[in-house]
Amino acid sequence: MSTCTTVFAPYAAFIPDFPAFCAALQTPRPCCLRVNTLRTTPEAVRELLMSQGYSVTSSPIADELLLVHNLMHPGRLREALLGYYHSQALTSALVSRMVAPQPGELVCDLCAAPGSKTSHMAQLMDNQGIIVANEPVHTRLAMLEYNLKHLGISNVVTTRYTGQNFPLRCKFMRVLVDAPCSGEGNYRCDMQGRVQHMRRATGAAGDLPRLQKQLLIRGFDLLAPGGSLIYATCTYNPAENEAVVQELLEQRPATIQPLTLPVPHSPGLLQWKEYRYGARMQHCWRLYPHQTGSVGFFVASIRA
Amino acid sequence: MLEPQRSAVLGYFDTRFGIPLITFDNFYLLLRHKTYSLLSTTPHVERLAGLQVHSVGLPVLRSIRHHLKPTTAALQHFGTEARRHILDLSETQVVTLLREREQPLHLAIQPGYVILRHAGHILGCGLYTPGRLRSQLPQHPVVSF
């Protein structure tokens, strides 16, 4: 039986306070709701939920994020039917905030399904400008389009290219590469310490870094001069994170930018096993559950 | 889509619900596979011309045989501007409608699509025929009201 300690043992050397990390995977988390500000306000949703007996607090990170401590099935409330909120991990919502899209801009979300970050960016853009949301898998594309429609998004066009072959003729001010990954950041442990939600066989993980490198390089090539890109995964494996960014730095004239949101995090790694990464890799962020109370993520901000 | 076809299509919302045409001034209207969608106007739109697009913007109307059907997404988004053919439902009626998908109802209104509203919140689209109200809301696992 896989336990938290055994599954993440290879990372114990770089995850700060590893026992606290393992403990956090067993600790229940509040449900994070992103209020759809295209349709209502955080105050209105907070009052509606509190009137139904839910314990609601605002996230200190962003006004539109609410933490609900005793809500198990957020999709089953009337407010979900109304499109007043979207259930989304706190750290996932942070990624859209790091992209920082502005109303009127032209933005590309290269791996968009199921659309949480796409719809969040549309919300941050006040439905102005254009987001090209790309997803090659038909079933996931349907999920993306359902979520966009449900949330009243009117500034998104969807495309169905393989991300690494997305046409280069259109350039974007901002690109998000939220790459397919092994999803270790979503792992949770039951009370016996057994790991839940393991998504992929370890055999498949070997192909992911190759795909991630191709996606990141294509995302960079889609940037207009002076444009910015966010590379994100919800995994801890340095082969899917720092090594991917390092490949970009070696292939293209890219620069890693510091991130400035007030969120507890750890810096990107400068070394993993026999591999060494550039000094600016420390500007990448590693978000761990025991630091954020949410899903694990890796984020890099890159400028052309 | 250019005038006068644009006004003819979007005029449905004015005729049926009293949602003025000016509401849609900042949108392009596009037709794809019998679905009319609204896309926020943008100077970037011509730069997308080379892309093979799968869907565009917010679907607002579907062309069904010889009539137009508004989407729930459209009514949730623009329904606050509506002045007529709005049905205020009780909690019991909403729960029944979501579960049974239809219920007997006698109203002195013109048959056709209606905006379903509960406690001031717009739920979406319904279809009223004499003596019966049918839900046009997407299937949704709502259990708590």
For residue A146, with 0-12 CB atoms within 10 Å meaning exposed, 13-18 middle and 19 or more buried, which class applies? middle
Q: Considering CB atoms only, which of B40, B71, B122 is closest to A128?
A: B40
Residue A74: inside a domain, yes or no? no
Q: Considering CB atoms only, which of B44, B56, B121 is closest to A82?
A: B121
CA-nearest residue to A138 within chain B is B54
Residue B33 and residue B54 in one domain: yes
Q: What is the pLDDT of residues A278-289, one digit of tens each?
A: 999 999 999 999
Sequence-separated (6 or more) residues with CB below 8 Å from residue B95: B145
Q: Check which CATH number belongs to the domain holding B90 and give it.
A: 2.30.130
Q: Check which CATH number belongs to the domain holding A135 and give it.
A: 3.40.50.150
Residue B14 and residue B41 in one domain: yes
The C-alpha of B69 sits at a distance from chain A's nearest C-alpha, in angstroms, of 16
The answer to whether the Cβ–Cβ distance between A149 and B71 falls below 8 Å is: yes
Which chain A residues contact residue B55 at CB under 8 A? Answer: 145, 157-158
Residue A296: inside a domain, yes or no? yes
What is the model's pLDDT at position A201?
Answer: 43
Reply yes or no on whether the pLDDT at A202 is more than 50.
no
Number of domains in chain A: 1
Residue among A31, A78, A127 with most chain B CBs within 10 A, to mutate: A78
Q: Does A71 touch chain B (CB under 8 A)?
A: no
Which chain B residues contact residue A83 at CB under 8 A? Answer: 73, 76
Q: Does A234 touch chain B (CB under 8 A)?
A: no
Residue B76 and residue B90 in one domain: no
Reply yes or no on whether the pLDDT at A123 is more than 60.
yes
Which chain B residues contact residue A141 at CB under 8 A? Answer: 54
Q: Which residue range forms the structural domain that includes residue B13?
A: 5-81
Task: Kindly report which listed range (A9-23, A52-66, A186-200) carries the lowest average pLDDT score.
Answer: A186-200
Residue B13 and residue B59 in one domain: yes
CA dihedral over B44, B49, B51, B55, signed as positive or negative: positive
* Residue A284 a catalytic site member: no
Q: Check which CATH number belongs to the domain holding B52 and give it.
A: 3.10.450
Q: What is the pLDDT of residues B18-72, one digit of tens each?
A: 999 999 999 999 999 899 999 999 999 999 988 999 999 999 999 998 899 999 9
Residue among A145, A157, A170 with most chain B CBs within 10 A, to mutate: A157
Task: Kindly report which listed range (A123-137, A187-201, A264-278) carries the lowest average pLDDT score.
Answer: A187-201
Q: What is the pLDDT of residues A131-156, one digit of tens each?
A: 999 999 999 999 999 999 999 999 99
Residue B106: inside a domain, yes or no? yes
The C-alpha of A134 sits at a distance from chain B's nearest C-alpha, in angstroms, of 9
The answer to whether the Cβ–Cβ distance between B54 and A160 falls below 8 Å is: yes
Q: What is the pLDDT of residues A68-87, one digit of tens each?
A: 998 999 998 999 999 999 99
Amino acid letter, residue A239: A
* C-alpha R_g of chain B: 17
Mean pLDDT across A231-236: 97
Q: Which residue range forms the structural domain that includes residue A291?
A: 4-29+89-303
CA quadruple A35, A41, A44, A47: dihedral, nearest 10 = 50
Residue B126 and residue B60 in one domain: no
Query: Residues A114, A144: contact at Cβ < 8 Å?
Result: yes
* C-alpha R_g of chain A: 19
* CA angle at B14 for the pair B9 and B15, rounded to the nearest 5°: 85
Q: What is the pLDDT of residues B60-118, one digit of tens each?
A: 999 998 899 999 999 999 999 999 999 999 999 999 999 999 999 999 999 999 999 99
What is the model's pLDDT at position A189?
Answer: 77
Region for residue A15 given its phi and psi (left: phi exceeds 0; alpha: psi -120 to 50; beta: otherwise): beta
What is the model's pLDDT at position B1?
Answer: 82
Reply yes or no on whether the pLDDT at A204 is more than 60.
no
What is the model's pLDDT at position A198?
Answer: 65
CA quadruple A81, A86, A88, A92: dihedral, nearest 10 = 150
Find the farthest-apart pair of alpha carbons in chain A and give their distance in angstroms, rounded: 56
Reply yes or no on whether the pLDDT at B129 is more than 80.
yes
DSSP chain B: --TTHHHHHHHHHHHHH---GGGGTTEEEEEETTEEEEEE--TTGGGGTTS-EEEESEEEEEEETTEEEE-HHHHHHHGGG--SSEEE--HHHHHHHHHHSEEEE--SS-SEEEEEEETTEEEEEEEEETEEEEE-SPP----B-
What is the model's pLDDT at position A199?
Answer: 57
CA distance A257 to A302: 6
Residue B74 and residue B45 in one domain: yes
Name the DSSP class of A53: T
- Gap between the terminal Cα atoms of chain B: 41
Catalytic one among A108, A111, A234, A284? A234
What is the model's pLDDT at position B145?
Answer: 67
What is the model's pLDDT at position A206?
Answer: 64
CA distance A68 to A59: 10
ipTM of the prediction greater than 0.90, yes or no: yes
Query: Residues A135, A19: contact at Cβ < 8 Å?
Result: no
Helical segments of chain A, H only: 4-7, 18-26, 42-50, 78-81, 90-99, 116-124, 138-150, 202-205, 208-221, 242-251, 289-292
Which chain B residues contact residue A39 at CB under 8 A? Answer: 76-77
Q: Does A203 touch chain B (CB under 8 A)?
A: no
Residue B19: inside a domain, yes or no? yes
Region for residue A204 given its phi and psi (left: phi exceeds 0; alpha: psi -120 to 50; beta: otherwise): alpha
Residue A55: inside a domain, yes or no? no
